[in-house]
Homo-oligomer: A and B are copies of this chain.
Amino acid sequence: MKRLDTREAGFEAAFDALLDTARDTTARVDGAVAEIISRVRAEGDAALLELTARFDRWQPRDATALRVTAEEIAEATASINPALMEALDTAATRIETFHRAQMPADITVPDPAGLTLGMRWNAVDAAGLYVPGGKAAYPSSVLMNAIPARVAGVGRVAVAVPTPNGEINPLVLAACGRAGVTEVWRIGGAQAIAALAWGTATIAPVDKVTGPGNAYVAEAKRQVFGRVGIDSIAGPSEVVVLADGAQDPARVAMDLMAQAEHDEAAQSILITDSPALADAVPGAVEAALATLPRSAIAGESWRRHGAVILVRDWAEGAALTDRLAPEHLQVMVADPQGLFARIRHAGAAFLGPWCPEALGDYVAGPNHVLPTGRTARFASGLSVFDFLKRTTWIAAEEAGLRATGPAAVALARAEGLEAHARSIAGRIGVD
């Protein structure tokens, strides 16, 4: 854990070092991924069966055995204890409500020159959602990917989830069921991304692939980009907590550890204007770590990437936050909305002392798939917009073309595009 103070000489260098530290330790796997994708394109289902046997260590009897049946989804759902199922249902309902509120409206733009202009939104026809298997199988991520797709109006939603040794987390299947996903494939890795993007005899291709995954999945998404759309490629998670002297160090420490427990490469940063809080939190973190089951991971993350930054005032705190452009931003000060209004770059914000980031991971409603690694400078969290695309349109009658056409003819000729010019000029009888 680093401790920085904006009053100290050397602060800028230390902060730059914090910004520039690469936390992503992704191995280079592009060659291996390219080979898997080309095998799936060439051999289709046969490649999927062979690669599943090799990487997931179970042998599907044939390609139809890759699909999870409706009975299996129903059985998995029935196996979940009712209180947990109710929590999942609460989360799903709230996520759906928020994402419905995101839905944009078509526009028609009045035009004094007599054209009619507009912009129409449409969903993609089919989306493929990757869900990691094994220890990182998070049912909350199923909801966060599938619900925006369905709210956007995607006709077909297919989930791919690897089943190492043939095993699947029943809560993941229950989440699929609750989100209305009926097409679930037991495939994983680069081969799953390839099958979704290119299709096989058994699996129809999709138009958009979203969802988190390991280095192979991330690289496969990069390589199929262009053939299909993809969401962003997520790096390790991070939080910046802005807290003033009125905050409880133990709560601040647990908020920092909630991020750190994800992954050794996660990053938790406290920015405070209170020397007393800056002094108290590191000890509170050690006390929290002593009681946490994932303390090895969280402790490693804190030691490697954690930071406590003492600032003179919140103008400084806001400016540093914008330079960090964090995935998650907790604002625990007297006027959280006021401070949030001074910050431009963050994936998601959590306002006030009663709003720990974990609330947003599960039930609040906004998406938990968010831009990491300072990409909040230009990128956004997953939303209905990821599953929609726009078509602009222009409608012209003769009068509108006569009013606007001559300027287009002049510009087309200035660019040396005579057929462009004549396609207009020929209609309105000008040279």
Contact = CB atoms under 8 A, between A and B. Distances in A.
Contacts of A351: 393-396
B356 A423 contact: yes
A34 to B, nearest CB: 12
Interface stretch (A3-11, A62-70, A95-103): A95-103
A237 to B, nearest CB: 11
Given A139-B411, A251-B423, A294-B418, A354 B390 contact: no
Nearest to A325: B207
A231 to B, nearest CB: 11
Contact of A412 (B255, B362, B390): B362
Given A258-B417, A410-B87, A115 B364 contact: yes
| Interface size grouping (class) on chain A | 35 or more
Number of copies: 2
Nearest to A428: B354
27 contacts: A98-B109, A101-B107, A102-B119, A117-B365, A119-B366, A122-B344, A138-B415, A171-B414, A207-B377, A226-B373, A228-B378, A257-B419, A261-B418, A292-B422, A298-B419, A347-B392, A348-B391, A351-B394, A352-B397, A354-B400, A355-B401, A358-B408, A359-B394, A359-B396, A377-B389, A380-B391, A385-B390
A372 to B, nearest CB: 10
Contacts of A344: 122, 125
Nearest to A103: B107
A426 interface: yes
Interface string A100-112: 0110100101010
Contact of A414 (B101, B139, B349): B139
B394 A360 contact: yes
Contacts of A389: 371, 376-380
Tell which of A257, A340, A363, A392 has the most Cβ of chain B within 10 Å.
Answer: A392
A100 to B, nearest CB: 9
Nearest to A389: B380
Contact of A84 (B208, B365, B392, B410): B410
Interface in A88-136: 88, 90-91, 94, 97-98, 101-102, 104, 107, 109, 111, 113, 115, 117, 119, 122, 124-125, 135
A229 interface: yes
